[in-house]
Each structure stands twice: as structure tokens, then as C-alpha cells.
Amino acid sequence: MRVVRTVAALREAIAEAGDGGVGLVPTMGALHEGHLSLVRAARQDHELVIVSVFVNPTQFNDAADLDAYPRDEARDVELAASAGADLVFAPNVAEMYPQGFATTVRVTGSITHRLEGAMRGSAHFDGVATIVAKLLIAVSPDSAYFGAKDAQQVVVVRRMVADLGIPTRIVSCPTSREEGGLARSSRNARLSPSARTRALAIPRALREIEGALSHGEMDAGVLKERGLAVLRADELEVEYLEIVDPDGLEALASVTRPALCVVAVRVENVRLIDNVLLTPAHALAAER
Amino acid sequence: MRVVRTVAALREAIAEAGDGGVGLVPTMGALHEGHLSLVRAARQDHELVIVSVFVNPTQFNDAADLDAYPRDEARDVELAASAGADLVFAPNVAEMYPQGFATTVRVTGSITHRLEGAMRGSAHFDGVATIVAKLLIAVSPDSAYFGAKDAQQVVVVRRMVADLGIPTRIVSCPTSREEGGLARSSRNARLSPSARTRALAIPRALREIEGALSHGEMDAGVLKERGLAVLRADELEVEYLEIVDPDGLEALASVTRPALCVVAVRVENVRLIDNVLLTPAHALAAER
């Protein structure tokens, strides 16, 4: 497994690899099964699989969160190799943001201002869009793989890639879940045993909403209340729980077509997000 | 001469042309000798020369200026061909900014906020950086050619290209001048005969400053006064006349190293800009 640290070395390694296609899995390290499922998807699709490992400072709104973000490159490299990656790109901050850096790629509108954008500040998605643009320009991958857990990030990245005309296919892979249903996240490592147990209310709340929908409840307000009741029973601090349009992320009044249910909570000061795609019963019936 | 109107057709044409090197000359049409000198430079350097013709609405701060911007595609195509271009990319607005477009490439700091940025508003360079990023991503040229007349634009584009890691060399070509020294600009076509005569005070003012510098005057305040006196004698409305650092565009107090003298005036409501690189006598002596 080769590790390169500069864009120049990265481009050289890609040129050496020849013209098979390239799949990129952008990560902030702290790899877990969720990331590895992305690497395996890339492995199936492409000849050269690159995993980038870069804890991007500009997308953190909270310096303490950035400091606490887990870093273990040797472990990440080993895990990436085990899942079939060919190359790890692990630049330092100065390589990605050299002296005098002054450019931001910004996606505007409800897809960045609502939900995570509202909670974490507009700089968060500026940071995401800018670093993803830089990575896609550096690698020129045929496909790039993102976890569906970060649903809003996928929407923002798709918009940015379409708008700038970057010729990369953006692939969203299903959220990987621990036993009990908790969405895998690098932040889960910071949960105490009791916090982890309480966090299971998040997937339970999403299942509660899915269940109510499957029994014919389509009113978004009612569905949200059902989910919130589950979260409140475990005294989770809810930042938002919303039912939104999957493309524009505007709040929906009722689930008459596919919708995204997104949730963000804090448990003992660890911030966790999750989501599920809601499909109303009549839409499911129409599919059959 | 082939004209293509979509990014897809453009990429196909580039792929067909093979691996020879690509030079791009981004223009807003209304081609004149200045543009053609860029095309000839690209022709010398590369096997495939592409001229883009797109009047980019997002970089105009003034709707009237956008409306009045001269458009004559047939003439542009003919001129581009005469200078050696192989391909014209002439997309419409919907091709570059489709429904739902929401992404901006923004360069921040003094290089965008001062001078043109201060006069035309911050949206101007947002528009420039975004459309140039899109064109460079669409074409993937080895080199892109810009006129030194738009000095600040060149600084902003270089910064954006370095920051995003776009692998294109940015080439700045000398300002092309009419007889009498007026910098060539598509806007010159809107000058009345008397305005054109008065506009000759712009290159005269720059020469006055160069002359004073060559006689040992290095104080920026004094040099500016010498230039302003020339402009005032022809009653030109001066938006700015400044002596700045060529990279960061901060104002300089004295010309002890190479500096850029930039000027913007209005003549009968036509806005004209120009600039000259100032090299102090001791720096010239050191070169010998």
C-alpha cells in the first residue's frame, strides 16, 4: 500500500497506473466499517482505488471538535488496504491550504443554510465544498463515494459537482450501522457505554417514523412528534428532526412522495446525525 | 472552424483531437487585436487552440453594461479562425448556469476587494473566478491566456487556480494598444470620436508616471499626482489611480521594487481601465 502526501506525487502515481478508471473515497480518517463499505464499492467499479485521509480544518465550526477528532494514520492505511484500496493520499494542512490560500467554493441556498448549515454555521459546507472540489480536481476520479449518513453533504457535493461541471460521478452508499442500528461514525468512539445505549434511540425514532408511515400516517408534523417522543424518552438533546425534500431539503408538510427524515442530536456533548429515506405506501405500491 | 455549444460536445471534440496539448483563450467575444494576440500565443504553444466566447452575466454589476456589451458571433468566429484557433466554444447562458445553479468560486482578500472589486462590487470577481473555474474544468487546458490589461483579473485567476490546484498554466500576454497607446478593449467601440481623443490621456498619464520614475521620483504619492494631473487636464472622471504591489495589490508608499500602476476612468460613461508595470531605475540597472 502506497501513501502519498502531495498532489504532485498523487498525480504521478495516477499517471503510472494507466487508463483504467479511478475511484476516490474521500475521508477524514478514523476509518470504520462505513468507510470500508465505500472502498469495497469503489473496488468493484474501478481499477485504481484511492482513499484520501485528511482532517479538513475548515469544515469544523468548533476547535475542540477538531482537536478531539480521532487520528491514527497507520491504522487507517491498514484498514484501507484490507478493503482493497491501492493508494492513500494523506496530505498535511499546508499541502491543501498553502500560505496565502484565499479561495472558497460556496454552495448557496436552502441546501446549505438549513439543518447542518444552520447548526454548524455556513462555513461548514464552504469547507466541505472547497475540499471536495480540490480533491476531485487533484484526482480526476471517474467516481467518488460518500456515505448516505451525511445526506446533506451528498446533496451539497452533487450540486457543486454539477454546477462546476466536474466530470465525476457521485455515488452515495447506504449508511453502515452497528448492531442495534446506530449509524457508524468516527464520533461514536467518544460515546460512553451509557451514552451509546441512549444513542440507540436515534435509529429507534427513525424506525418509529417509518412504521407510522407504513400504517398510513402521512402528516409530517405527526410523524415528527412520534420520532421526537422516542428521542425524548431517552432524554437526548435534539438539534433538529425534520422531514424534507430529498433534493432541495425544504421542509415538507406531508409525505406524499419520497422524503428524507433527518435528525441531529447531542448525547453527552457528542453530536450524532442520522437519516432515513421515507417512501409513502402508495409509492411503494406503485413500484410493484 | 468548428463551433460547439455544450460542454459535452466540447469534451468530445477535445478527445477526438488527441493528446497534443490544449491552449484556451477565454473571451467574452467582441474580439479585437488584443484577443487575437492571445490566440496567436496559444497557437505557438499548443496543438489544439480553443477560444471560448461567452458574455458572462454574473460578472457584470450593471445590467445596462451587460445589455450594451457588443455581440457578433459570426465575426468573432471568423477572427478567431484568422488568428489560428481550431475550435470556438460558444455556450448559451443556460448551458453554463442551468436551473438551480447555486455554486460560487470566491477569492477573498485585498486582491478582490480593492480597485475593480471596490468599484464594481464583490460579485464581479466572484463571477470571473466561477466562470474561469468552469471553463478550465470543462477544457482541462495545459495553458490559458489572459490579457495583461485586466491585471487584477490575472492576479485573481492565478490565485484561484493555485488554490484549487487546477493544473493549468496561466499566461498573461502584453496589453495590445491602438495607435496613440489606448489599450484595446471591446468597450472602445462605444467611444465617440471626441471621447476617444480624450481617452488618450490614460496612456499619456501612465507614460508620465514611468518618465518621472525613470528620473528618480519614487514617492508613490508624487507619482500619482503627476498622472492625475494629466487625466484632469482632459477632464476624465478618475475612479482610481493607484500604485500597488503586483501580487497582493496593496497600495505602496514608494516604488523601490517592481510595482503595478493601475487606473480606471470613465469617459462619457464608458469605463476604461489600463495599467503599467513600474520598474524602479535601480532594479533596471541590476538587471543589466
Instruction: Identify the CATH number of the domain in which residue B248 sits.
Output: 3.30.1300.10
pTM of the model: 0.96
What CATH number has the domain bearing residue A48? 3.40.50.620
A287 domain residue, yes or no: no
Please name which of B264, B85, B62 lies closest in space to residue B183, comparing C-alpha atoms.
Answer: B264
Based on the fold, state whether residues B218 and B148 are members of the same structural domain: no
A180 domain residue, yes or no: no
Task: Kindly provide the ipTM of the predicted complex, given to two decimals.
Answer: 0.95
Residue-wise pLDDT for A77-133, tens only, equals 999 999 999 999 999 999 999 999 999 999 999 999 999 999 999 899 999 999 999
Residue-wise pLDDT for B35-89, tens only, equals 999 999 999 999 999 999 999 999 998 898 899 888 999 999 999 999 999 999 9
Give contacts of A100 with chain B, Cβ < 8 Å.
Answer: 159
Please name which of A71, A95, A74, A69 lies closest in space to residue A3, comparing C-alpha atoms.
Answer: A74
Based on the fold, state whether residues A67 and A156 are members of the same structural domain: yes
Based on the fold, state whether residues B60 and B136 are members of the same structural domain: yes
Largest CA distance in chain B: 57
Nearest by CB to B164, which of A103, A159, A163?
Answer: A103
Q: Are the Cβ atoms of B104 and A108 closer than 8 angstroms?
A: yes
Based on the fold, state whether residues A166 and A126 are members of the same structural domain: yes
Q: Where are the alpha helices (DSSP H) in A18-107?
A: 33-45, 63-68, 73-82, 93-96
Based on the fold, state whether residues B52 and B120 are members of the same structural domain: yes
Domain interval for residue B239: 186-279
Residue-wise pLDDT for A2-35, tens only, equals 999 999 999 999 999 988 899 999 999 999 999 9
Please name which of B53, B2, B3, B1 lies closest in space to residue B24, comparing C-alpha atoms.
Answer: B53
Distance from CA of B135 to the nearest CA of A (A): 9
* Per-residue cell: B257: 521594487
B285 domain residue, yes or no: no
- The model's confidence at residue B287, banded by pLDDT at 50, 70 and 90, is low
Residues of A with catalytic roles? 35
Beta carbons within 8 Å of A164's beta carbon, 6+ residues apart: A105, A133, B103, B105, B133, B134, B137
Q: Are the Cβ atoms of A103 and B102 closer than 8 angstroms?
A: no
Give contacts of B166 with chain A, Cβ < 8 Å.
Answer: 137
Domain count, chain B: 2
Based on the fold, state whether residues A274 and A248 are members of the same structural domain: yes
Q: Are the Cβ atoms of B133 and A164 closer than 8 angstroms?
A: yes
Residue-wise pLDDT for B104-124, tens only, equals 999 999 999 999 999 999 899
